Chains A and B, each alone.
Chain A
Amino acid sequence: MDMRLPAELAAPLPQSDAQIALAIEGVHKRFDQFQVLKHIDLQVRQGEMLCLLGPSGCGKTTLLRIIAGLETQTGGRIVQNGRDISWLPPVKRDYGIVFQSYALFPNLTIADNVAYGLVNRKKPRAEVQARVEELLKLVGLPTSGAKYPSQLSGGQQQRVALARALATAPRLLLLDEPLSALDALERIRLRGEIRRLQQQLGVTTIMVTHDQEEALSMADRIVVMNQGVIEQVGSPHEIYERPATPFVADFVGKVNVLPAIALGRGRFRAGRLELQCGDGGDHAPGQAVRLYLRPEDRATEVAPEGAANRIWGEVRKVEFLGASCLAEMCIEELDGQPLQISFSLNQLHDLGVRVGARIPLVLRSERIRVFPVTSQEVAR
């Protein structure tokens, strides 16, 4: 009955391929004239948690549903553990899935929900019961087996949905915005639990989300998607610190964007400021660029006179965010374009950041990302 057997026996796979749980090769999808996905190539490693991140309509959900066989790609190949599943109906694929809406069967008890896939495999009743108990314990709901879904909170229901998806020990777990329907506190709690479970079981997982914080905190690797293409694949750190495209820099985290002209040798002029950027070596002098700078990428404590990228700014507005504050600074040399700079609450007091204060800042040259202005933008 095991569908995987022939593919594994066929040929011993090379080491590198064995580590690939799922390979997506040139998958594309068109609805009428609209290209939802454009030639997606992606490899999911064995046991990793991969997040598909992007704004709504970027194609991330479509990609997940194609992997699940719930939608059909226009072309391309999907290979799971060496088996081509591109054109298999959903029942013949090997995955568990959790939806935003939980999709628990409302008329069955929690235990029956979790047992749903097991009962069908004609396992002995005692074995099924033991497995259900084990799973409910695993998701932290050991005593809820006799209840009905409507008696549980949203977070608890999603835990049950997770247990149901894991019951048959699938080799791939698909999570479609699993936390979006939950309130803020439960979302953060469940976020940690899903990650812990995933690592404990070592199950390869693909999660779709539009919430960058969720992706940054849970994923081994993040795939940032936009308008049907992959913008960047990388670890959360890479995505945040070294965004590959302006879109990624903009979508993940807050960022200041300064129009500038390259001067050569890593120097750029923005307004009447001359800035040193560690990143931008190969921009020809005279080229129009944009400098991307995150609000926290500044050193204030050590702002010795004469340091590179040292500027004076006047505080215009302070937005209080709890643990930190976002100050809108006016830099005279930038001709009125404000910079958003973040301060911790302590820095706010220590440095005397308040509306009207003038403060020296050092912009961290190694953190400034430089992107060329595309010809389209120039035309505008």
Chain B
Amino acid sequence: MKAATPMLHARAAAPRSLGLSREDVIARVVLLAVVLFLVLFLLAPMASILMRAVQDNDGHFIGFTHFADYLSSPALLGAVWNSVWVAATVVLISVPLAFTFAYALTRSCAPLKGTFRLIALIPLLAPSLLSAIAFIQWFGNQGVLKPLLQVIGLETIYGAPGIILSEVYNTFPHALMILLTALSLADGRLFEAADSLGTTRWRKFFTITLPSCKYGLISAATVVFTYVISDFGAPKVIGGNFNVLSVDVFKQVVGQQNFGRGAVVGLLLLIPSIASFLIDSRVRRKLRAQLSARSVPHVPKPSRGFDVLMTAYCVLICGLLLAVVGMAVWTSFITLWPYNLALTLRHYEFALIDGDLASAYGNSLKMGFCVALFGSIAVFVGAYLTEKSRGLDLVRPLVHLLAMLSMAVPGLVLGLGYIMFFNHPNNPLNFLYSSMSILVLSVIVHYYTSSHLTAVTALKQIDNEFEAVSASLKVPFYKTFFRVTLPVCLPAVLDIARYYFVVSMATLSGVVFLYSPDTVLASVAIMNLDGAGEIGPAAALASLIVLTSVLVCLLYSLATRVLLGKTQAWRNLAGH
């Protein structure tokens, strides 16, 4: 105590902070570790792409030569235009379809809403390749409905039409979730006021509903646009010779080993992503402002004609969605389309036991578990320390910024950055390259944003003074973390783990650059099997991924019910 006193006077002029306790030091070290993790596995790879875009293969600075090359090649420029118009078309189809569906679920008295909603979310569980395979089976050269194509004047499904169909299927649930949120935010009092003034349904729609979900529509459109621009699976399988940016990166890097040009395309892919990220984060802020306003939820009133119409629409859409996944499942069980329709398990045997890629499914499971385990730990600890620790006031917003940034980086670009950063001979982390660890790390980083937001939301809901109370009781923060914060947030942590598992089963774009022969993943195997013409085993693996994710989701809801019922008895007692 005595020694500290003279220091007080010496430092009186400069702004001081409180002394550090042992716990403070621990908190800071862990927080810095999280920052370091995000810097190494998100920021550094991005920086590598930037550098690589202005270097030749030997690492000499060559300025904008790659850019000039790229821009002077009409074929490559064509890919840019193709990507843009296809993505725009998907937005124009997917968003209205999803909006009508969301409208039916929130504003009509249609029956079976829960079931409709579950069916509509199925595409989230499948790799984007699945829909492409299914559409080939429906409309491809041997397709069941090929004649239908000719009726509408198309020669083939391969190319833009196939990509658009697949991507509408893939993006539908993404748009739906955003629009459901936007529509359910509507203030019931506005509708009551409109009713009391004798307003018609159409007028209410255009004066209340549409303006109130304006931001939701913008957000859905940008999310869909970015998804399509950066998706790699569907165009690879069903795109034929139709060149798009995402496939182009793959060709440049994997096919031609032209890293410099690959980096340029990667940067081009980053532009729409970052633009939509900026639009989306602005819009979300406004959405949140709407959310915090006090509003009364809108409860729809029965209206026979409208309800029947909406139910019919939901049945139609669900039917179409099930037809896609159903076709993939059916393909996995029949011997050889269209010549031999006998049922068989041969494709599963080939995909899991006999084929060269038999280890893929096991690898995917392993990666899924690792990502779920380590990802949820990293995300939750990071979010906890940013929200609840004190000190390091400049570092904590950085975690949040980096966490949000991960959303702006397409998987393909992230994967590209990983090659350039970790494959560099001088990088001490080079040993990670072509290991399972790098796959796990890349997936954790790629899907960091929404996991982080889930954790932050859960943490914001608990009392802000727990840390202050435990400090006053001389209990170190980490004891309170394990005894109180973690148990209270367990539902959110489980939710993050489930999300991580499901996305790592289906992801392709990030890992396609990073797998080695020992770490082939199921989604990569589907791509390769499809490329080799083995569509049956490809469909079998895709179906297995969906089945696994469905099982995990069931397990999750079971766990939240049983396990939480035990450890969270306090939760059910509220209100007694």
Which chain A residues lie closer than 8 Å to B20 at the CB level?
A: 89
Across the interface, do B466 and A89 meet the contact criterion of CB distance under 8 Å? no
Q: A91-128: contact bitstring with B at CB < 8 Å (1 yes, 0 no)?
A: 11101110101110111100000001100110000000
Q: How many residue pairs, one in A and one in B, have C-beta atoms under 8 Å apart?
A: 116
A77 touching B468 in the complex, CB below 8 Å, given contacts A105-B484, A106-B570, A168-B474: no
Q: Which A residue's beta carbon lies closest to that of B466?
A: A103
Bound Cα distance from A97 to B475, whole angstroms: 14
Across the interface, do A72 and B18 meet the contact criterion of CB distance under 8 Å? yes
Counting CB contacts under 8 A, is A149 at the interface? yes
Stretch at the interface among A80-88, A216-224, A269-277: A80-88
Least Cβ distance of A89 to chain B in Å? 4
Q: Which A residue's beta carbon lies closest to that of B462?
A: A106
Bound Cα distance from A89 to B12, whole angstroms: 18
Which chain A residues lie closer than 8 Å to B488 at the CB level?
A: 105-107
Across the interface, do B475 and A117 meet the contact criterion of CB distance under 8 Å? yes
Bound Cα distance from A107 to B468, whole angstroms: 17
Counting CB contacts under 8 A, is B573 at the interface? yes
The residue from B8, B463, B468 contacting A70, defined by CB atoms under 8 A apart: B468
Q: Which A residue's beta carbon lies closest to that of B23?
A: A91
Counting CB contacts under 8 A, is B472 at the interface? yes
Which chain B residues lie closer than 8 Å to A107 at the CB level?
A: 484, 487-488, 567-568, 570
Bound Cα distance from A164 to B20, whole angstroms: 25
Least Cβ distance of B28 to chain A in Å? 12
Which chain A residues lie closer than 8 Å to B203 at the CB level?
A: none
A168 touching B8 in the complex, CB below 8 Å, given contacts A69-B18, A91-B21, A150-B574: no
A–B complex contacts, Cβ < 8 Å, 30 sampled: A84-B8, A86-B8, A87-B19, A89-B18, A89-B20, A89-B21, A90-B471, A90-B472, A91-B476, A93-B472, A96-B472, A96-B473, A97-B468, A101-B463, A101-B464, A103-B466, A103-B468, A105-B488, A107-B488, A116-B473, A117-B474, A120-B473, A120-B474, A121-B474, A148-B569, A148-B570, A150-B571, A150-B576, A151-B576, A164-B469
Counting CB contacts under 8 A, is A7 at the interface? yes
Across the interface, do A6 and B576 meet the contact criterion of CB distance under 8 Å? no
Residues B539-576 near A (CB distance < 8 A): 567-571, 573-576
Counting CB contacts under 8 A, is B479 at the interface? yes
Across the interface, do A165 and B472 meet the contact criterion of CB distance under 8 Å? yes
Q: A74-B15, A101-B463, A120-B479 are in contact. List 8 more A-B contacts (CB 8 A).
A: A69-B471, A72-B18, A87-B18, A96-B473, A102-B463, A106-B571, A108-B484, A116-B473
Instruction: Give the B-binding residues of A (Cβ under 8 A).
Output: 6-7, 10, 68-70, 72, 74-75, 77, 83-84, 86-93, 95-97, 99, 101-103, 105-108, 116-117, 120-121, 148-151, 164-165, 167-168, 170, 174
Q: B20-45: contact bitstring with A at CB < 8 Å (1 yes, 0 no)?
A: 11011000000000000000000000
Bound Cα distance from A72 to B15, whole angstroms: 10
Across the interface, do B569 and A84 meet the contact criterion of CB distance under 8 Å? no
Q: Which B residue's beta carbon lies closest to that of A103?
A: B465
The residue from A87, A106, A120 contacting B4, defined by CB atoms under 8 A apart: A87
Which chain B residues lie closer than 8 Å to A83 at the CB level?
A: 1
Which chain A residues lie closer than 8 Å to B575 at the CB level?
A: 150
Which chain A residues lie closer than 8 Å to B476 at the CB level?
A: 91
Bound Cα distance from A351 to B567, whole angstroms: 67
Least Cβ distance of A84 to chain B in Å? 7
Chain B residue total in the interface (Cβ 8 A) = 45
Which chain A residues lie closer than 8 Å to B472 at the CB level?
A: 68, 90, 93, 95-97, 117, 165, 170, 174
Across the interface, do A151 and B475 meet the contact criterion of CB distance under 8 Å? no
Which chain A residues lie closer than 8 Å to B17 at the CB level?
A: 72, 87
Q: Which B residue's beta carbon lies closest to that of A98?
A: B469
The residue from B5, B464, B468, B573 contacting A150, defined by CB atoms under 8 A apart: B573
Which chain B residues lie closer than 8 Å to A167 at the CB level?
A: 473
Counting CB contacts under 8 A, is B16 at the interface? yes
Counting CB contacts under 8 A, is B470 at the interface? yes
Across the interface, do A105 and B483 meet the contact criterion of CB distance under 8 Å? yes
Q: Which A residue's beta carbon lies closest to that of B574?
A: A150
A6 touching B1 in the complex, CB below 8 Å, given contacts A96-B472, A116-B470: yes
Which chain A residues lie closer than 8 Å to B487 at the CB level?
A: 107
Across the interface, do B463 and A91 meet the contact criterion of CB distance under 8 Å? no
Which chain A residues lie closer than 8 Å to B2 at the CB level?
A: 10
Residues B353-411 near A (CB distance < 8 A): 390
A164 touching B473 in the complex, CB below 8 Å, given contacts A105-B483, A107-B484: yes
Which chain A residues lie closer than 8 Å to B5 at the CB level?
A: 84
A120 touching B466 in the complex, CB below 8 Å, given contacts A84-B4, A105-B484, A107-B487: no
Q: Which B residue's beta carbon lies closest to that of A102?
A: B463
